[in-house]
Every structure is written in C-alpha cells, then in structure tokens.
Structure 1
Amino acid sequence: MRFLSAKCPPKFYWFYPEIASIVLFSKVFIVLILLQPFELDRFTFDVQLYLSMIFSIIAGGTYYLSFLIMVNYLDENWTIGKDLLWANSIFLIVAVMVFWFFGFLDGKIEVEVQLEPPVFTDVLKYSFTIGWVMYYLIFSTDRYLMKFALLLKLKKNKKIQEKFEKRPLQVEPEKQNSLYVRLLGKNKEDVLELNPMDIVFIEARGNYVEVNYKSHSNEIKKKVLRTSIIELQVQLNSFTYLYNCHRSYIVNLYTVIEMTGTLKSKKAVLRCVNELYNIPISRLKMEEFNNMIEAYNTSILV
C-alpha cells in the first residue's frame, strides 16, 4: 500500500503525449508482427500488417485521448497507484475496442484457415500482457527519454537565442540609459520595444502571442507578435520575474495580488493600472509558482 500511495514523479509521456503515442504505436506494431497474438498467422501477410496497424492505432489513440482527459489531474498529488489504475483502464478500453473490431471484421476479410473469432477473455489476456510489457518498457526508459527531450529543448532554445542575437538591438537613443528590451517576431517589422517591468502578462494565441503591457501614458496596451511563447521565453530568460506559469501564459510576478480557485484549479489575479486579470496556473507548476511568489512578492499567501 505504501508503494501505491507514493508520489509518481513526472513522466516523459506527461510532457510529450504526441511523441509517446507514436512510440507506443511503433512498439505495439512490432510486438504484434513478431509475436502474432490473436492468431494473426491465420491471415495473409498483408492482412496481418493491416490488422497490426489498426490495433496499434487503437492503442496509441486510446492513450492520447485518455491523456487529454487526465492532463488536469497530473500534478504533485498524482500517485503510483493512480498511474497504474490509469494504465489498466487504457488496457481495458483497448481490449473492448479490439474485440469489437474483430466482430466487425468477421466474414469481411479472407483467411487461410477459418477459425472462430477470439473470446473476450483471450483479448483481455493479450491486451493486458502486451500493455504491461509496454508500460514496463516506457517506465524503465523514462529517465533516458526525459534527458533526451531536455537536450532537444536546450538545442532548440540555443538556436532560437543565436537567431535573435544576430539581429541588432537598435534601441532608440532616449531609451539607451534605461532597461529596455526588443521583443522580436518572425517578421522584421514585428517588433516591440519596452521595459520588461512594464509587461503584465503574455498570452499564446496559436501562431501568435499577445503581449499585455503598461504604456508610458499609464494605459494597458496589447501588441500581437507572430512568434511562439517559447521564443519569447528565450528572449526574456534574464528576467526571472517573468514566469511561465502555464503553457499559454507568462506573468509578471510583481503584478500578482492574490490567488483564487481550488487546489485542483488555481488562478493568479494580476493587477495593473486598476485592471484585474485572471491567469490560469498549470497544476504541474503550482509548487514552483508558490516558491517564485515567495521570492518576488512575499505579501501574497498562496
């Protein structure tokens, strides 16, 4: 029981569900071709490939769809027991869908030896056996996948940083004695010069980001740049008070006045020039956000 109630550390497939789905699809496909469960050898080879691909798509797709449902629950309270329950639920759903698919195909494809469709208990056996093998492989290689993903991210960030360093700053003369940054979009004319302290928050909007900032006239203005929030993070990485609290938001920690919501769904309330903004906080970053708030704004109790 102690093992099941232990906290489950963040996993590769939490942060990269698309890649995890493709990896799962590939592994299941290879296992089906090599081991041929469900008596796949009764089919012609091209039908074996077809069925193996369909079953692999069912496995990868079921994981990805379940992730979209579970993503809001993957936080510091997620335990190994919950993770195992999630995995078993996926295996069960896959078994039901595969069994249904066999019934759907019955009589519709040509087989070398006519056999009865598999019973549900056999499908369950194969689904859970293959599922647990896949779970073990993913679990045992997770730390290596996380290191690999981190290296890829660092490499990408380095390229982004080098690209922006090659473009001249060209801050206006009257601003040179102040701390100004130049936020750059993908187009040369896509530029915003401002003091980073004036940024209230940044919101991702598809292929664009919207920067909400305080102007010299003490008004809140918005500037849309054709870039990604990751690229802006790289440009603003020297200013640690601009914190990426959610995959779609960067907030100025000095503007946070309070926290609202429940333990499972919190929002930061930002205030600037008498305007209030409610910004969601990722559950995976809740603890880190608390620490950052304590460092930059000790008047806020989270």
Structure 2
Amino acid sequence: MKKLQKFFKSPYPVFYQRWKIALISCIIVFLILALLQPFGISNISHNKLGVLLGYMMVTGVFLSIPVYLFPFLFPDFYKDDNWTVGKYLLNNLLIFFFIAVGNWLYSDILFGWGLHWEIFLSFLFATVVIGLFPSVFFVMLNRNRLLASHLREAVEMNRHLQKVAAVSSELEKAGEEDVIIFSGGTKESLEMAVKDLLYIETEGNYVKITYRKNDKPVQKLLRTTMKQIEEVAKPFPYLAKCHRAFLVNLYAVSKVSGNSQGYHLSLYDSEVDIPVSRAYSKDIRMLIESMNNG
C-alpha cells in the first residue's frame, strides 16, 4: 500500500505539448472506431467517413475542457512543480468522462437514441477501455522524455563540476576565512568555516547541519527553521536551497545524477545523496554552470 501511495505521489510532467495530446487522442479514437465500428457505426451505409470525423472532432472539443480550460481555471492545482502521477490519473478520468459525454450527445443527434444513463455508462466504459491505450503511450513518452532530459542535463552539470579544480581551492576564491554562524531557538549556536559546510536538512522543528570537522563529516541539530537558515546563507550564493527540506553547499558536490524523477547530488565526504526538486532544478543548474565564472 505504501509503495502504491509513493507511486501516486511521484512527480510527473504536466501536459507535455497539449496539442499533441489532443491530436493523437483524436486519431486513436478515429482509428479504433473505424476498425471496430461500435455504437451502430457498422450499420451506417452512407457518409460513414463523415460520421467518424464527427466523433473525432467531438473528442477533440470535449477533451480540451480538462486539457486546456481546467488548467486555466485552476492554475494552482495544475502547477508543474506539484503535478504527480496521481493527479495525472485523476485528470485522465476527467478526460475520459468528458469524451464520453461528447460522444454520447453526438450519438443522440445522429441516431436519436435519447439521453439515457445506461447509454452514457456504455459510452463511458468504452471510452475508458479505448483511452487506456493513449494513456499508457503518454506515460511511457513522458517518462522517457524526462529521463533523457535529466540525463543530458546531468552530464552537462558534471562537465561544469569537472572544471572546478578542487573544493578547497575554489572556496579560496570566495574567501578562505569566511565564517558562518547558525543560531538556534535556544542559546545554542554553531560556528564554522563556510567551506566546511556540506548540507542542511530539516527535521521537524529542527535542522540537521552536516559539516566537516577534522576532515570527517559530523552532524549537529539546532532548533531553528529552514527560512532562518536561508537568511544566514544569503551572502553565499553557492549555499543553495535545492529542495524544500535541503540546502546544499554546491562546492561540496562531486557528481550530479539524473533519472525520470529529477536530480540527485552526490557530495564529497558524504554518502548521502541530496534530492533536487523540480522547483529548484533550474536554479541549481544555473548556479553550477556559473561556478567556473565565480
């Protein structure tokens, strides 16, 4: 059950080239109706092509409601950063529903069947069965597209990282003596050289600071918030937030890995991989690419 919940909550791209979704879906509906000829289409003796093109057009019009109109009306729900597999599947159900409504109405105009619920349910069932094919197609297409894009961008970021001679020498450019002080809600505080910081992670009402001490990674819990940490880190642009729960020292990054879910950062002197969420991926790429100019 937990695996299924994790799958539904996993990131997914929202509507990659919407016109392609509409066009390909319409073509698939047209071909399936032409081959199987359900809903009394097989009994049509004249202008069958026109009837099929009508179904195709109706599919495109009603499919546009959840693909174009809903994202316009409810932009927060359809934000790319928050879009998940679960939302994608829910939206597909909406797409199937509206296509079924459109074809139900169109069939009543053609054949005069009447707007009966049992007829609509048969249309909805057929639409779901037919819609499974383009849905699976788009899942595979978008997964492969994301994987290829993230791998390509990871290679590019690693190329920039390789140009950075070494963590210590690069940090000398920012100031070998730079010191940063993190304060907690109590009287606790932590002072260190900026070059020794690896990453910071939120843990409930605390943050866990991982840094080098005597050439070994150590950790310290402070009662503070990530927002307060960000304020302290502002003077150092290479201390970048890469996820709602993580802030990382980009000069401590040894490698970037990419997959269909996004990016992960591997660090020197740490076995922990730091996730990069979609909301911060562009900023992280730009910062890494600018490190050689700093």
Which has more radius of gyration?
A: 2
**RCO (CA 8 Å, sep 6+): is it higher in 1 or 2?**
2
With the length of structure 1 as denominator, give the TM-score of the two structures: 0.43
With the length of structure 2 as denominator, give the TM-score of the two structures: 0.44
Query: Which structure has the highest helix share of the two?
Result: 2
